[in-house]
Chain A
Amino acid sequence: EVQLVESGGGLVQPGGSLRLSCAASGFTFSNYWMTWVRPAPGKGLEWVANIKQDGSEKYYVDSAKGRFTISRDNAKNLLYLQMNSLRAEDTAVYYCARIAFRDRYFDYWGQGTLVTVSS
Chain B
Amino acid sequence: EIVMTQSPATLSVSPGERATLSCRASQSVSSSLAWYQQKPGQAPRLLIYRASTRATGIPARFSGSGSGTEFTLTISSLQSEDFAVYYCQQYINWPPAFTFGPGTKVDIK
| A contacts, CB < 8 Å to B | 35, 37, 42-47, 50, 57, 59-61, 95, 97, 100, 103-112
Contacts and interface: CB of A to CB of B under 8 A. Distances in A.
Contact of B98 (A47, A103, A108, A109): A47
A109 B44 contact: yes
Nearest to B34: A105
Tell me the interface secondary structure of chain B in the complex: loop
Interface of B: 6, 32, 34, 36, 42-46, 49-50, 55, 87, 89, 91, 94-103
5 contacts: A35-B98, A59-B95, A95-B43, A103-B91, A104-B98
Contacts of B89: 45, 105-106
Contact of B34 (A37, A59, A60, A106): A106
Nearest to A103: B49
B32 A111 contact: no
Contact of B100 (A46, A57, A103): A46
B32 A44 contact: no
A58 to B, nearest CB: 9
A9 B47 CA distance: 27
